[in-house]
Copies of this chain bind each other. A is one copy, B any other.
Amino acid sequence: MAEEKTVSSSYVFKGRAFDVRIDTVINAEGHETTREIVEHVACVAVVPLNADGDIVLVKQYRKAVEKELLEIPAGGIEPGENPDEAVRRELQEEIGCYPGKIDRIGGFYSTPGYCTEYLHLYLASDLKPSQLQAEDTSGIVCLAVKSVQIESMIKSGEICDAKSIAGLLHYLKYEKKVKNQKSKVKSKIKK
C-alpha cells in the first residue's frame, strides 16, 4: 500500500492543547484530497499499583464530554522530557506519588484516523508520597480499585475511556499473570 504523498500543508488552528493542520494529499486511488489532522504531543498513560496491588485511578471532569470520568493517570510529555520522566512527573501531579519502579508495557495511537497523538503505556509500582503542583489537577480525585472490580467496571461501562480500557485490559491480560508468577516464585523461595 502506497503512502499518501503530501502536496501542501497549512495550519488552520494553533492552540494550547493541540494544533490543527490540513494536508492536501494524493490518496490510494491517485486522487487529490484533504486530510484534517489534529497535532497533539506524545503522552504517557500509567497503570499505577499501590502496595496492595490495587490500581490507582483518577476521577476528573472532562469538559469535552461533559462528564466526570474514571481514567488511568495520563498526560503529555513536556519539551525536554523523555517518557520515563513524564511518568514520574504525572504521577506526582495526579496521584501525589513518586513511583520507585516503572516499566513500559506497551503503547498506542489514540485516534490515528485524524490525530497524531501516541501514548506510551507504563506500569508503575513502589509508590511513595510526593506531591507536585500542576495546572488543572486540583479537581482530580484518586481511587484505589481491586483488579476484579476493574474488570466489572470495564464490562459495565463505568470505565469508558479508550486509553484506560486498552491500558487496564493490557495490564490484566499480559502483566498481571507475570506479577502473580513472580509472587509465587518469591513465596516458594521464602519457604
Contacts and interface: CB of A to CB of B under 8 A. Distances in A.
Interface of A: 1-4, 12-13, 15-18, 20, 22-23, 25, 27-29, 33-38, 40, 59-69, 71, 74, 106-119, 136, 138-139, 141, 151, 154-155, 157, 160-163, 165-166, 169-170, 172-174
> Would you list the 9 A-B pairs with minimal beta carbon distance, nearest first?
A28-B139, A169-B169, A165-B166, A35-B63, A62-B112, A166-B166, A162-B162, A15-B36, A17-B36
How many copies of this chain are found per oligomer? Answer: 2
A114 B16 contact: no
Nearest to A25: B63
Q: What is the predominant secondary structure among interface residues of chain A facing chain B?
A: mixed
Given A1-B68, A35-B63, A109-B161, A20 B20 contact: yes
Contacts of A157: 106-107
B1 A61 contact: yes
Nearest to A14: B12
A160 to B, nearest CB: 5
A26 to B, nearest CB: 11
Given A18-B36, A139-B1, A174-B155, A62 B169 contact: no
A22 B18 CA distance: 12
A90 to B, nearest CB: 13
A37 to B, nearest CB: 5
